[in-house]
Structures are given as C-alpha cells and as structure tokens.
C-alpha cells in the first residue's frame, strides 16, 4: 500500500513536468474565456534542518515534493457560471486529496457566490497562491491562525477600489470531512479590502515588477466559529481577527500582518479533552516581510520576521480532530526570521529559491512544510532550496 502511494506521488509530480495543453484566456483572441483551463504545477525541495533535541538526531535533511497538483478552472457555457477543481498529492502518504471544488454564480445586485469546498478570504498570505509567495513557504503564523480549506459558501461584492467577502463554512481545516465530522456548528468569515493606490492585479503575488507604479492594499478580516457541545465531541468557540497592509512600487514590496485569536470552551468543569487553559489564552501574531529586485534581471532578495504569542497554548481544529503542542511553550513568544533569494525564469514558468529559516525559540508543533520540527530547546534552523514550475 505504501508503495502504491509513493507511485501516486511520483506520477503526479511527473505529470507536472509534461508540456501543458491548457488554453489560457490571455492567449486566446476572443472576448469569452475558455470553458476549461488546466494548470499543472509542482514544488521540489531540499530541506536541511538543524536543532537541539535530546535523544534525537540534531541534523535532519532530505528531499520532498511539497506540492504536485492539477488545477482545473473554467465556465459551464455561460462565463458568469464558473467552476474550479484542484487536487494535490499529500507529502506524507502520497494520496491525492481534493483542495478546491466549487461552482461560482452571479447574484442580483452585482454579488457573486461560490459554493462547495473553498478557502474563505481571511489571511492574505493564504489568499495568495503558494507558488507566488516570496519565501519558500508561508509564515508559521499564517499557518497557525488561518481558516484554510473548508466547506461552505462565500459571497462577494467588488468595486473599483474595494471588495468584500462573507463566508458561511464548516470551521477551520474542515476540507474533505463529512457533514457530521467537522467539529464546528457554524463558521462565519468576513474580509474587506481597499486599494487606495494601484491595481488589484498587482497583489496577485508578493513580488513587484520594476514597471509597477505605487500600489497599496489594506485588508481587515474576522472569523467566528461556534464549537460543538456534547459527550462525543466538545469543541470551543473561536474568534480570529487579522489586519494587513501591502505596498508595491518599482520592484520593491512590503507586507505586514497582525493576527489575534481567542477561545471560549464552555467547559467550566474541565471534563472534556480540551486544554484546561483554553479559555484564558489570548494569542496574537505579527508578520513583517519585504522584498526587492536586484540585478541581474530576475533576481529577488527578501526577508521576513514573525512573532507569535501562544500564551502557553497551542490549539487548532484539524478536520475531525484537533492539534496540540508536542514541543515547548515555556519560552513564549516564538520568534522566527527568514531570508533568502529567488531567481525568476518567466520564459520557462519556473522559479528557483533558496532561503534560511531561523527559529530563535522552541517550536511547539512541527510544521514540516516550513521545514521546522517541534523542539524543547531554543535555536533551530532550516535551509530550504526549491525549484518550482507551473504549466
């Protein structure tokens, strides 16, 4: 069975290297977008991790296919009725899992709706495609505070300088769950964005072209999730908030985000399996990121700093279960620094990246996608080299 899963992973990665037969809207001389657009993309990495952990190997290194996915988008015959389906090969077991699966439709008054398996608009880092980030991986903070993929419906309204989103969903990380297995009664996420300067298209990624004029994006989002109560499943109410600002001009980009999170476990007697200090924790995170183009053409330097105050608690819903700390929380807050270089090769739809991540404090829970493992000691580093391609 394990061999079959590995073969699946290798096959999906191999498919991503084949020439694409997609039909892109921008390459077709017609006013109507194509009924089907196909994108194949993959990220291959080498990760070298170094940490201090008693009884375990201090240095761990190896290759992985972080993402190997196929993305299908288009319309059903009427360009206003759209759809998207995307699958990705899981890095741990090789199984192919569904990420997006929704249909979009127009509503009266210029509103739109998308229903199915979605990623609600909440954290901007999560809204930007993983292949359009500055660093090799999104920040640890974004991964902890995000809503991520879930199931539900999202409504949106867009204007020239502003847009708003409102989603009703099954809770954070509730993708691919049954109707009775998502650990959340109801989730409500809302986000508003403003572009006082520049164009929306500038903010489809975290890089800035030299030809870009001044662009600024401001965002604010809230997410409230009502937990389930009962003998079989008891989950807390969760309130999340984030605010972010982005600036791009002539090859320079700057981004900052604030996160906050609060829980209400409705469990005064502490007779459930939830952490006893859940209701007392007030968590926040800060992310600052900058990048600039360098000569020769295509070279990009970037840096990122993040700080997370867990308040002696690591908790997040993960579909039908929840995730808690396996490392130390004694040294709150957690500070992580990242710096590196990108080399863009747009002619080949390829980008080569090299960066170094340094966690100054113990990491409470492993994030292997970021190259970080759980630790009880300070000072962990991960060198990450990545080649990504999209067709």
Predicted TM-score of the model (pTM)? 0.88
- Backbone angles phi and psi of 202, in degrees to 5: -60, -25
Find how far residue 266's CA is from the centre of its chain: 29
- Backbone angles phi and psi of 143, in degrees to 5: -65, -35
Short-list 207, 382, 197, 201, CA closest to 290: 207
Specify the pLDDT at position 26.
Answer: 36
Residue 322: beta bridge partners?
317
Per the structure block, which two tokens stand in for 389?
């391609």
- Contact 307/314 with Cβ under 8 angstroms? no
Specify the pLDDT at position 268.
Answer: 63
Per the structure block, which two tokens stand in for 250?
């002539």
3-class SS letters over the chain = CHHHHHHHHHHHHHHCCCCCCCCCHHHCCCCCCCCEEEEEEEEEEEEEEECCCCCCCCEEEEEEEEEEEEEEEEECCCCCCEEEEEEEECCCCCCEEEEEEEEEEECHHHEEEEEEEECCCCCHHHHCCHHHCCCCCCCHHHHHHCCCCEEEEEEEEECCCEEEEEEEECCCCCCCCCCCCCCEEEEEEEEEEEEEECCHHHHHCCCCCCCCCCEEEEEEEEEEEEECCCCCCCCCEEEEEEEEEEEEECCEEEEEEEEEEEEECCCCCCCCCCCCCCCCCEEEEEEEEEEEEECCCCEEEEEEEEEEECCCCCEEEECCEEEECCCCCCCCCEEEEEEEEEEEEHHHCEEEEEEEEEECCCCCCCEHHHCECCCCCCCEEEEEEEEEEEC
Specify the pLDDT at position 17.
Answer: 37
The pLDDT tens digits along the chain (391 residues) read 444 444 444 444 443 333 333 333 333 344 577 889 999 999 999 999 999 876 677 899 999 999 999 999 999 999 999 999 999 998 877 789 999 999 999 999 999 999 999 999 999 999 999 999 999 999 999 999 999 999 999 999 999 999 999 999 999 999 998 888 778 999 999 999 999 999 999 999 999 999 999 999 999 999 999 988 765 677 899 999 999 999 999 999 999 999 999 999 876 655 567 788 888 899 999 999 999 999 988 999 999 999 999 999 999 887 667 788 777 787 679 999 999 999 999 888 999 999 999 999 999 999 999 999 999 889 999 999 999 999 9
- Contact 251/212 with Cβ under 8 angstroms? yes
Distance CA 220, CA 233 (A): 32
Which CATH number fits the domain that encloses residue 78? 2.40.160.10
Distance CA 65, CA 86 (A): 17
Specify the pLDDT at position 234.
Answer: 79
Per the structure block, which two tokens stand in for 245?
């600002």
Q: What Rg do the C-alpha atoms of the chain give, in angstroms?
A: 21
Note down the domain range covering 298: 2-390
Residue 358: beta bridge partners?
337, 381
- Contact 316/173 with Cβ under 8 angstroms? yes
Sign of CA dihedral 317, 318, 320, 321: negative
Specify the pLDDT at position 231.
Answer: 57
Specify the pLDDT at position 270.
Answer: 58
Residue 185: beta bridge partners?
none
- Contact 146/123 with Cβ under 8 angstroms? yes
How many domains are contained in the chain? 1
Distance CA 48, CA 372 (A): 10
- Backbone angles phi and psi of 356, in degrees to 5: -125, 125
């Amino acid at each position: 069975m394990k061999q079959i899963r590995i073969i699946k992973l290798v096959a999906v990665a191999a498919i991503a290297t084949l020439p694409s037969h997609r039909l892109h809207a921008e390459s077709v001389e017609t006013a109507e977008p194509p009924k089907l657009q196909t994108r194949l993309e993959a990220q291959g990495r080498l990760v070298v991790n170094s940490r201090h952990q008693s009884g375990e190997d201090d240095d761990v290194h190896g290759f992985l296919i972080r993402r190997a996915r196929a993305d299908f988008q288009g319309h059903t015959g009427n360009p206003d009725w759209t759809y998207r389906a995307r699958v990705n090969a899981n890095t741990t077991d090789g199984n192919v899992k569904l990420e997006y699966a929704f249909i979009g439709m127009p509503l009266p008054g210029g509103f739109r709706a998308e229903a199915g398996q979605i990623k609600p608009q909440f954290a901007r880092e999560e809204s930007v495609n993983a292949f359009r980030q500055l660093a090799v991986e999104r920040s640890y903070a974004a991964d902890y505070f995000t809503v991520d993929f879930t199931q539900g419906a999202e409504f949106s309204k867009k204007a020239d300088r502003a847009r708003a989103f409102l989603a009703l969903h099954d809770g954070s990380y509730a993708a691919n769950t049954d109707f009775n297995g998502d650990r959340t009664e109801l989730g409500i996420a809302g986000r508003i964005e403003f572009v006082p300067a520049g164009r929306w298209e500038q903010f489809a990624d975290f890089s800035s072209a030299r030809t870009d004029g001044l662009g600024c994006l401001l965002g604010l989002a809230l997410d409230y999730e009502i937990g389930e109560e009962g003998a079989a499943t008891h989950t807390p109410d969760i309130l999340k908030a984030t605010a972010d600002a982005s600036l791009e001009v002539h090859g320079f980009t700057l981004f900052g985000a604030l996160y906050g999170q609060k829980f209400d476990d409705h469990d005064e007697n502490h007779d459930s399996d939830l952490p006893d200090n859940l209701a007392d924790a007030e968590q926040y995170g800060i992310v600052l990121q900058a990048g600039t183009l360098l000569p020769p053409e295509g070279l990009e330097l970037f840096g990122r700093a993040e700080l997370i105050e867990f308040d002696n608690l690591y908790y997040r819903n993960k579909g039908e279960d929840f995730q808690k700390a396996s490392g130390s929380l004694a040294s709150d807050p957690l500070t992580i620094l990242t710096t590196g270089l990108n080399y863009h090769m747009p002619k080949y739809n390829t980008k080569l990246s090299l960066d170094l991540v340094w966690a100054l404090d113990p990491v409470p829970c492993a994030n292997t996608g970021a190259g970080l493992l759980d630790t009880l000691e300070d000072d962990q580093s991960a060198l990450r080299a990545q080649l990504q391609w999209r067709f």
